[in-house]
Amino acid sequence: MPSFCTITLDIGGTKIAYGLIPDAQPTTVLSAGRIPSQPANSTAQQQVRVALREAAAAAHAAGLVPTRVGLAAPGVVDTATGIVTYAGATMPGWQGTNLFDLVSEEAGLPSIATNDVRAFGLGEYTYGGHTDYSRVLFISLGTGLGGAVIDDHTLISSPRATAGEFSELVVSDAFGYAQRAEFVASGTGLTIYYNDIEEGHVPAIGEVAWRELTANDIRLEDIAEDDAHFATIAKGNLTGLGRALGAIVTAFDVDAIIIGGGLVGLGERVLAPIRAGLSSSALEPNKSTPVIRARLGDNSPLIGAGVLATTHLS
């Protein structure tokens, strides 16, 4: 009897991760691989096709039969049509992509797609040990900033697929100015702020602006743990994010916030200022709302895409 599996893709601004999730082992990601999502000689759409081909070849080599595809994709994704209805600056040319058509043409399999952070939230909530909480915010701090909301133990959806788009919160930064949360608190945004300070810039209104990172930019993972410039930015920008989240936690009486994405690799340097900001803005009954590091790591979106696919395509 053949062993069936789901091909899952986690599409990001930097890479596309793929894996095989056996039907009988929903938290196991086999034959995991990754390729760049936006190399100089290709497009993100072409790279999705490459990832699908590599995943299908891996399934064949492992003796598994793929029956469906689950996609975790950046931007606002219409789960009914598979169309990316909005994409931000981190994925130029991505808006308008029809993910269902890509999968059908390349793999000939049924597929389902959702925003990458919604998939992260679903996977992390289902299998990361958080189901005791009824109402949870998930925030991913990576190339961009995204979110998801669990309410009454269910990933909430919305007519225009924007529920959880915390990227558009207005957040204060280390210099007292306010911008989109993605500009201020994503991994890319913090890297821009850090390098501007390292180069001696003293920002005025509008001077800290989103831009593409270059090979000359110092990456946050390469800085010392006690770096004073990063501490200044984290205390300002991430505390600002925490204050914005504290207002949401109070308004909707949220049980917990789960933080994932590449930036949480910096640990308490990221989480502590978010907690401090939340505590400073939330009402007294909500000040102790836990801010928790995601537990499933890089596989959360792949596992969440698998949950979505097996739930809706079985």
DSSP-derived pairing of the beta strands 111-115 and 64-73: parallel
Which of 3.40.50.970, 3.40.50.10800, 3.30.420.40, 1.50.10.150 would CATH assign to domain 3-122+298-313?
A: 3.30.420.40
Q: Is the pTM of this model over 0.75?
A: yes
Whether 132-294 and 3-122+298-313 are alike in CATH topology: the answer is yes
Per-position pLDDT tens, the chain of length 314: 679 999 999 998 889 999 999 999 999 999 999 999 999 999 999 999 999 999 999 999 999 999 999 999 999 999 999 999 999 877 899 999 999 999 999 999 999 999 999 999 999 999 999 999 999 999 999 888 999 999 999 999 888 999 999 999 999 999 889 999 999 999 999 999 999 888 777 665 556 788 888 999 999 999 999 999 999 999 999 999 999 999 999 999 999 999 999 999 999 999 999 999 999 999 999 999 999 999 998 899 999 999 999 999 97
Q: Would you give the DSSP letter of residue 126? A: H
Do the beta carbons of residue 61 and residue 54 sit within 8 Å?
no
Q: What contacts 96, CB < 8 A, 6 or more positions away? A: 83, 84
Strand pairing partners for 35? 16
Q: What contacts 167, CB < 8 A, 6 or more positions away? A: 88, 144, 145, 146, 147, 180, 181, 182, 186
How far is Cα 143 from Cα 243, in angstroms, rounded to an integer?
21
Position 195 scores a pLDDT of: 93
Q: Which CATH superfamily is domain 132-294 in?
A: ATPase, nucleotide binding domain (3.30.420.40)
**Cα–Cα distance list, 75 to 97, 112, 160, 226, 311 (Å):** 10, 15, 12, 34, 22
Q: State both tokens at 153.
A: 């133990």
User: Domain-by-domain residue ranges, the chain?
Assistant: 3-122+298-313, 132-294
Position 205 scores a pLDDT of: 54
